[in-house]
């Protein structure tokens, strides 16, 4: 019964003036998905080693704090996960290293990295790079939740 109800919805939608069928416009919607910058590079899967290498580079760049500061810190991996997902939702494609931008505290860096690993494990994000040792990008998988 519920199915039939939505069949009506489907019919109503189909009757509308559909862009690309009944009406046309200068619209990015009618052009296929915009290519990534740099054109038609094949994206390659990223191994955990690539990720670790990339992360090590970021860690190396981070200033090593000589003084130990102990701050009450409520930041959790879950917060980081939400933050990364939030960014991906609005930007769709996020550069791996840019996730770490503006983070100086090593603990935050590590927390962020762990969040990325967790997201990959749960298949909530995908990571790919355009060439070996190239930039690594994160994006939302087209695959949905299990």
Partner 1 sequence: MNKLFIKGLLEALLLVSPKPLTLETLSRILDDCQRSDIREVLNLIKEDLLSSDKGFYLEEIGEGYQFRTKEEYAPWIKKLEGIRPVKLSKPALETLAIIAYKQPIIRTEIEGIRGVDAGSVLKTLLERRLIKILGRKEIPGRPIAYGTAKEFLELFSLKDLSSLPTLKEMEREGIT
Chain residues binding partner 1 by CB under 8 A are 2-3, 5-10, 12-33, 89, 140, 142-145
Query: Least separation, in Å, of the C-beta of 29 and partner 1?
Result: 5
Give SS3 for 45: strand
Query: Least separation, in Å, of the C-beta of 6 and partner 1?
Result: 5
Query: Which residue, 77 or 140, has its beta carbon nearer to partner 1?
Result: 140
Query: Least separation, in Å, of the C-beta of 46 and partner 1?
Result: 20
Contact in structure between 102 and 89 (CB atoms under 8 Å)? no
Closest alpha carbon to 81 in 119, 33, 123, 137: 119
Query: Which residue, 6 or 47, has its beta carbon nearer to partner 1?
Result: 6
Place of tokens 């509308």: 16
Query: Which residue, 37 or 143, has its beta carbon nearer to partner 1?
Result: 143
Closest alpha carbon to 117 in 90, 81, 89: 81
């Amino acid at each position: 019964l519920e199915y039939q109800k939505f069949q009506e919805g489907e019919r109503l939608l189909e009757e509308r003036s559909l862009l690309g069928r009944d009406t046309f416009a200068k619209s990015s919607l009618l052009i296929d998905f915009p290519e990534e910058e740099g054109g038609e590079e094949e994206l390659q899967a990223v191994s955990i080693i690539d990720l670790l290498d990339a992360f090590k580079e970021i860690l190396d760049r981070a200033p090593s704090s000589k003084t130990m500061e102990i701050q009450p810190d409520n930041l959790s991996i879950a917060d980081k996960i939400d933050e990364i997902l939030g960014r991906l939702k609005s930007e769709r494609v996020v550069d791996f290293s840019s996730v770490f931008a503006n983070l100086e505290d090593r603990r935050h860096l590590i927390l962020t990295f762990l969040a990325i690993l967790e997201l990959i494990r749960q298949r909530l994000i995908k990571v790919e790079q355009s060439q070996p040792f190239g930039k690594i990008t994160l994006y939302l998988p087209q695959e949905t939740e299990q």
